[in-house]
Amino acid sequence: MIDPTALVASDVKIGDNVRIDAYVTVEDDVEIGADSHIGSHSVIRSHTRIGEGNRIHEFAVIGGEPQSIDYQGEVTKLTIGDNNIIREFVTISRGTAHDRRVTTIGNNNYLMAYVHIGHDCDIGDNCVFVNGTNIAGHVTVGHYAFLSGFTMIHQSCRIGMHCMSGINTVLRQDVAPFVTVSGNPARSVAINSRGLSRRGISQQSITALNRVFKAFFRKNINLDKLVRTLDKETAEDDCVQTLLDFLESTERGVVR
């Protein structure tokens, strides 16, 4: 199911039931998994691996050379998982030799129009990036992150799982898991309670996360003191442990 106007390199590996529309370019050393659909005028650059069931819409550029002044043509990769929706004009860069050498996109993500994901990023599963979100190089994004339109993320930030950003948010530091952030510069607003509830997180865990949020983000209690003062039920909650581990391991600091 390859349109005759498409330009597909001879060594491209194409799975079953793949559709490649008009004027698509697929360069050498590319793999496209079964049941995927590549929209017209899209470009799939060399050294890209695309899993099964992906829908790439028109005019996307997937696996482009990293936008890094240090890049000297080294062979680096982009790996995309399964069942992602990548909308019009999305750009995703390959990795660089001075970091991971690969950019990684997980499964079941929805990347809306004009999203950019820079080199060496590691994107989890079930994320939503709304139109115009721009992610610089070396960024890690956890599962179920929801980034609203025109969110901008500085290099080397970590975006925690189940977090949410407001529209036009500018992030220069890490975003803690389960937290909603907003503004320029960003500030932590609240626990993403509605999103967590929709994903089946118990009310008990949400209540425990709110206790930690109020102490650390509102009252600015330092992490060591916070850990010492938590009651047993809160301290043993799995979501709270995830949040505390993230806070303890941050290198750029977290949005407060």
Catalytic residues: 119-120, 137
**CA-based max dimension of the chain:** 67
Instruction: Count other Cβ atoms within 10 Å, centred on residue 113.
Output: 17
Amino acid at 105: I
Distance in angstroms (rounded) separating the CA atoms of residues 256 and 101: 32
Amino acid at 213: F
Please report, for residues 209, 223, 246, 249, the alpha-carbon distance to residue 241 in angstroms, rounded to integers and kept in the order given.
10, 12, 8, 12
Distance in angstroms (rounded) separating the CA atoms of residues 25 and 191: 44
CB 39 within 8 A of CB 23: no
User: How many Å is the Cα radius of gyration of the chain?
Assistant: 20
Q: Sheet containing 48-50: which strands, arranged edge to edge?
A: 13-14, 30-32, 48-50, 77-80, 102-105, 122-123, 140-141, 158-159
Q: Is the dihedral of CA 227, 231, 237, 239 positive or negative?
A: negative
